[in-house]
Chains A and B, each alone.
Chain A
């Protein structure tokens, strides 16, 4: 079993449990008090049959924290919690007993899954021929599951040791539409064609250099090879060397640089073509002979550009898309962000780490009145940085347009996030930005400067050595005329 998938599944289940615990039927009022703008799914009314579902007896009350819901990005109006509570019964007892009761009402078990194992948590889904569109989910989880995820630690404290959680949930939207913390709302991915929006991550420049001739590769060719071309950065080249030689070069050189061994797959055979996948897609190297490219219709067009006997090498990395959900906006253009019509302008078109910039946010849907604005720059996954907030929390004010001064601490791919909050709810807009680094110093010069204090160390050591030598000479000279004092190492300790 893939460990990452196992962890994601666990997280998804925990999220489900968490929002079960966070919601009761009464908490639907929460949704009315803090409406969320944007194209939220329209929830169906709570079906009548949901109120007739059997009740698991002897459940203790479970207190929960509404903040957890926000942390997990779950919308309250999407579910109806028929029952939730704590019990000392085992998971199998709970699910077995409840399944029997449901079967008595005509419900059929559709699916049963363990997260990560059935001993830790179970998810059961049921259907009922009497209600064709009915969806019913029963979740049973141990306390241990909660401690696995940092976001749920606070909630974990509210579940006493030895108690298990049972939740009976009626999803009001299609199960697939339920938000999951591991699968954020779809965002507009930056297409690879817009190279200006995607910069190579810094580490890309340090990859081993193979002697390649430049080659222009259309992204559709990569797509034809089954590569997800959204949000990738790639470079392609040509060499007369055979596939195996190129593969051995990259595998060996990258190993020396500390990269783990790649997952290797062949295009039919390893001398026709190879795909080297380093660190789960952080870096993919495609090495293909002309013959390999002729195998599929999608790559035939590329094959025609390749002289006989040449090998194509493509290094690509997933630069990734916007790290958080929101609406992509173009600077200077009108943008519908949730219920708000905004115009976001930036005072510059190119960014660097030295100069700050000013973002101007104009509300076109209304003028006057207090509204709140929060600004943050968030690095993309490929940029080694952390988000930076400006002006702390939401800044209040009536001015329209509003201006906010920001800067990027580190070069790379960033997203400027602007959150507008008003009576209509909260809406997020983002603008991608490529931040140029300062003039890059030659690595040798950097090391020369970095190691220069070593001269101080050497100088000090040399000075000490000379001093000791001179003192020993003095001692020898003094020994001829003066009484010899004790050796430094053997002198009896005295009060100091």
Chain B
């Protein structure tokens, strides 16, 4: 891989080093700091937007949709708009600096779009995602006006919104990933001495997890996971089983088997053991915090303001914490990468890289399969309810409808999907590590 600072002279456009008071290297460092600072601002906005989207889902089911300007919509679309403005602002500013030949702004550090604009690919992708979401808003409202509030998730303009969400979140991932790569190269150029003791190295490694670019890409990945689960989780869970021949496979486990792709990509991108576990912990923390916040959002704005709830609803939200054991899957992935570190680096062949990526991913998927069984909990709750009621007829009727997948028959397919997730994670990590602009 080429070093940005060293190879700037090979670029078609020469920067105005001769006339600028700062060096090209310093310009790149300033640019990286600027992108990281603004990137974190966008990330915070995205966290609020993600929370408000989760809030909106509960608002739809508990309160309904008595118009477009519901409180969750207001928060969601205003944060989206603000983030879009931030992304557009960065692109316009960097385009200006590029055309002014400011040090650090050249064809190697910016991505050209529509021949005129030059900016960081992460910001532009995130901005595009925000625009897609904003465009989808009136179209979604139009669709709801025709077909009602309980339009299925897979309606045309919901899909548009989901694509916007995925694009925006991908943009944030690439934003931090590219800054991670650039900073890594800058640090390599500095050739800093490493700690000599084991404890010192451990402390450094843990501290490194919380550096702005590393933490940024981890958080962005965590929110990509939450969006993936928001988009596919409830529907998959409601579907219950995926019928293949005579088998009724646990569709939730199959959908979950792809989650390790994010964790593998994260570890392979950063090369840091611990990022997958940290991602799992952050994911769980978000799920635990967001539930009470949504509950508050519903209770405060519905109950206290005298709004009516949908028929048969109360203001209690369901706190969806699954996948509950993502930190354990992350820990297993980290451990595998840690244990194979010497082996991988001794002979860094493609086969070894792929082997470790898929092996770690399969392990993560199997752990999630074995531990994350929310249907068990729900089935047991229903059973307890029936036992309490003592109604044998209702018990028989409901028992026949419980979600009872062919559990062990699902395992081989989970392993296959886990392996596929490992391949996706590896390819994605390669793509991110090559992204420097």
User: In the complex, what residues of A have CB within 8 A of residue B149's CB?
Assistant: 384-386, 410
Q: How far is the CA of A489 from the CA of B349 in the complex (A)?
A: 10
Taking a contact as CB atoms closer than 8 A, the residue among B142, B163, B204, B310 that contacts A457 in the complex is B163
B160 and A451: CB pair below 8 A? yes
A389 and B156: CB pair below 8 A? no
Q: How far is the CA of A131 from the CA of B166 in the complex (A)?
A: 74
A386 and B312: CB pair below 8 A? no
Q: How far is the CA of A77 from the CA of B345 in the complex (A)?
A: 85
Q: How far is the CA of A289 from the CA of B222 in the complex (A)?
A: 60
Assuming the contacts A437-B145, A450-B159, A457-B167, asked whether A496 and B183 have C-beta atoms less than 8 A apart, the reply is yes
Taking a contact as CB atoms closer than 8 A, the residue among B63, B65, B170, B213 that contacts A496 in the complex is B213
In the complex, whether B382 has a CB less than 8 A from a CB of chain A is no
User: In the complex, what residues of A have CB within 8 A of residue B306's CB?
Assistant: 392-393
Assuming the contacts A120-B390, A440-B146, A496-B187, asked whether A446 and B430 have C-beta atoms less than 8 A apart, the reply is no
Q: How far is the CA of A485 from the CA of B1 in the complex (A)?
A: 6
Q: How far is the CA of A11 from the CA of B35 in the complex (A)?
A: 59
Q: How far is the CA of A385 from the CA of B106 in the complex (A)?
A: 53
Taking a contact as CB atoms closer than 8 A, the residue among B1, B136, B146 that contacts A438 in the complex is B146
Least CB separation from A392: chain B residue = B306
Given contacts A385-B148, A453-B160, A464-B435, could you give 20 more A-B pairs where the C-beta distance is less than 8 Å? A1-B394, A120-B390, A385-B149, A388-B66, A409-B68, A438-B145, A446-B157, A451-B163, A456-B132, A457-B163, A464-B431, A471-B1, A489-B426, A490-B345, A492-B271, A492-B345, A493-B272, A495-B187, A495-B204, A496-B213
**Shortest beta-carbon distance from A392 to chain B in Å:** 7
User: In the complex, what residues of B have CB within 8 A of residue A76's CB?
Assistant: none
Assuming the contacts A3-B397, A384-B149, A489-B348, asked whether A453 and B391 have C-beta atoms less than 8 A apart, the reply is no
Q: How far is the CA of A148 from the CA of B139 in the complex (A)?
A: 40
Could you write out 18 A-B pairs with CB less than 8 Å apart? Answer: A116-B390, A353-B145, A384-B147, A384-B150, A385-B149, A387-B308, A388-B67, A409-B66, A409-B145, A450-B159, A452-B160, A453-B160, A457-B167, A467-B434, A468-B434, A489-B268, A489-B430, A494-B184
In the complex, whether B144 has a CB less than 8 A from a CB of chain A is yes
Q: Residue-by-residue, is B397-414 near A (CB-CB < 8 Å gives 1, otherwise 0)?
A: 110000000000000000
User: In the complex, what residues of A have CB within 8 A of residue B345's CB?
Assistant: 490, 492
B344 and A453: CB pair below 8 A? no
User: In the complex, what residues of A have CB within 8 A of residue B272's CB?
Assistant: 493
Q: How far is the CA of A411 from the CA of B111 in the complex (A)?
A: 46
> Which of the four size classes fits the interface of chain B?
35 or more
A202 and B148: CB pair below 8 A? yes
A-B contacts, CB under 8 A, total? 191
A438 and B394: CB pair below 8 A? no
Q: How far is the CA of A449 from the CA of B68 in the complex (A)?
A: 20
In the complex, whether B180 has a CB less than 8 A from a CB of chain A is yes
B429 and A150: CB pair below 8 A? no
Least CB separation from A407: chain B residue = B67
User: In the complex, what residues of A have CB within 8 A of residue B128's CB?
Assistant: 453, 456
**Shortest beta-carbon distance from A421 to chain B in Å:** 16
Taking a contact as CB atoms closer than 8 A, the residue among B166, B389, B397 that contacts A117 in the complex is B389
Q: How far is the CA of A383 from the CA of B312 in the complex (A)?
A: 16
In the complex, whether A487 has a CB less than 8 A from a CB of chain B is yes
In the complex, whether A491 has a CB less than 8 A from a CB of chain B is yes
User: In the complex, what residues of A have CB within 8 A of residue B312's CB?
Assistant: 150
A488 and B167: CB pair below 8 A? no
Q: How far is the CA of A438 from the CA of B141 in the complex (A)?
A: 11
Taking a contact as CB atoms closer than 8 A, the residue among B2, B146, B155, B211 that contacts A495 in the complex is B211
A494 and B146: CB pair below 8 A? no
User: In the complex, what residues of A have CB within 8 A of residue B147's CB?
Assistant: 202-203, 384
Q: How far is the CA of A393 from the CA of B306 in the complex (A)?
A: 8
**Shortest beta-carbon distance from B383 to chain A in Å:** 15
A460 and B353: CB pair below 8 A? no
In the complex, whether A412 has a CB less than 8 A from a CB of chain B is yes
Taking a contact as CB atoms closer than 8 A, the residue among B136, B166, B398 that contacts A3 in the complex is B398
User: In the complex, what residues of A have CB within 8 A of residue B397's CB?
Assistant: 3
Which residues from chain A sit less than 8 Å from chain B, CB to CB?
A: 1, 3, 6, 116-117, 119-120, 144, 148, 150, 153, 202-203, 353, 383-389, 392-393, 409-412, 437-438, 440-441, 443, 446-447, 449-454, 456-457, 460, 463-465, 467-468, 471, 474-475, 478, 485-496
Least CB separation from B163: chain A residue = A453
User: In the complex, what residues of A have CB within 8 A of residue B391's CB?
Assistant: 1, 6, 116-117
Q: How far is the CA of A456 from the CA of B162 in the complex (A)?
A: 13
**Shortest beta-carbon distance from B432 to chain A in Å:** 9
Taking a contact as CB atoms closer than 8 A, the residue among B65, B164, B353 that contacts A489 in the complex is B353
A454 and B163: CB pair below 8 A? yes
A447 and B156: CB pair below 8 A? yes
Q: Residue-by-residue, is B182-200 near A (CB-CB < 8 Å gives 1, otherwise 0)?
A: 0110011000100000000
Assuming the contacts A450-B160, A453-B163, asked whether A496 and B393 have C-beta atoms less than 8 A apart, the reply is no
A116 and B394: CB pair below 8 A? yes
In the complex, whether B78 has a CB less than 8 A from a CB of chain A is no
Closest 10 pairs between A and B when the two form their complex, measured CB to CB: A384-B148, A386-B64, A450-B156, A488-B433, A1-B393, A446-B156, A490-B348, A453-B163, A353-B145, A494-B187
Most buried by A among B63, B204, B393, B398: B393
User: In the complex, what residues of A have CB within 8 A of residue B142's CB?
Assistant: 438, 441
User: In the complex, what residues of B have CB within 8 A of residue A489's CB?
Assistant: 268, 271, 348, 353, 426, 429-430, 433
User: In the complex, what residues of A have CB within 8 A of residue B281's CB?
Assistant: none
User: In the complex, what residues of B have CB within 8 A of residue A392's CB?
Assistant: 306
User: In the complex, what residues of A have CB within 8 A of residue B192's CB?
Assistant: 494-495
Q: How far is the CA of A119 from the CA of B205 in the complex (A)?
A: 62
**Shortest beta-carbon distance from B264 to chain A in Å:** 11
User: In the complex, what residues of B have CB within 8 A of residue A144's CB?
Assistant: 388
Assuming the contacts A409-B65, A411-B146, A494-B192, asked whether A443 and B156 have C-beta atoms less than 8 A apart, the reply is yes
User: In the complex, what residues of A have CB within 8 A of residue B348's CB?
Assistant: 487, 489-490
**Shortest beta-carbon distance from A29 to chain B in Å:** 27
User: In the complex, what residues of B have CB within 8 A of residue A464's CB?
Assistant: 431, 434-435
User: In the complex, what residues of A have CB within 8 A of residue B67's CB?
Assistant: 388, 409
Taking a contact as CB atoms closer than 8 A, the residue among A3, A386, A454 that contacts B310 in the complex is A386
Taking a contact as CB atoms closer than 8 A, the residue among A3, A410, A457 that contacts B148 in the complex is A410
In the complex, whether B143 has a CB less than 8 A from a CB of chain A is yes
Most buried by A among B158, B167, B313: B167
Assuming the contacts A485-B3, A489-B348, asked whether A410 and B145 have C-beta atoms less than 8 A apart, the reply is yes
B431 and A457: CB pair below 8 A? no
User: In the complex, what residues of A have CB within 8 A of residue B213's CB?
Assistant: 496
A493 and B270: CB pair below 8 A? yes
B208 and A495: CB pair below 8 A? yes
A496 and B180: CB pair below 8 A? yes
User: In the complex, what residues of A have CB within 8 A of residue B158's CB?
Assistant: 450
Least CB separation from A377: chain B residue = B66
B160 and A411: CB pair below 8 A? no
**Shortest beta-carbon distance from B266 to chain A in Å:** 13
**Shortest beta-carbon distance from A159 to chain B in Å:** 16
**Shortest beta-carbon distance from B188 to chain A in Å:** 6
A410 and B159: CB pair below 8 A? no
User: In the complex, what residues of A have CB within 8 A of residue B214's CB?
Assistant: 496
A496 and B208: CB pair below 8 A? yes
User: In the complex, what residues of A have CB within 8 A of residue B151's CB?
Assistant: 384
Least CB separation from A475: chain B residue = B1
Q: How far is the CA of A3 from the CA of B396 in the complex (A)?
A: 10
**Shortest beta-carbon distance from A92 to chain B in Å:** 14
Q: How far is the CA of A409 from the CA of B313 in the complex (A)?
A: 21
In the complex, whether B221 has a CB less than 8 A from a CB of chain A is no
Assuming the contacts A495-B192, A496-B211, asked whether A446 and B1 have C-beta atoms less than 8 A apart, the reply is no
**Shortest beta-carbon distance from A261 to chain B in Å:** 13
User: In the complex, what residues of B have CB within 8 A of residue A150's CB?
Assistant: 312-314
User: In the complex, what residues of B have CB within 8 A of residue A495's CB?
Assistant: 187, 192, 204, 208, 211
In the complex, whether B125 has a CB less than 8 A from a CB of chain A is yes
User: In the complex, what residues of B have CB within 8 A of residue A1's CB?
Assistant: 391, 393-394
Least CB separation from A491: chain B residue = B271
**Shortest beta-carbon distance from A230 to chain B in Å:** 21
B308 and A389: CB pair below 8 A? yes
**Shortest beta-carbon distance from A65 to chain B in Å:** 15
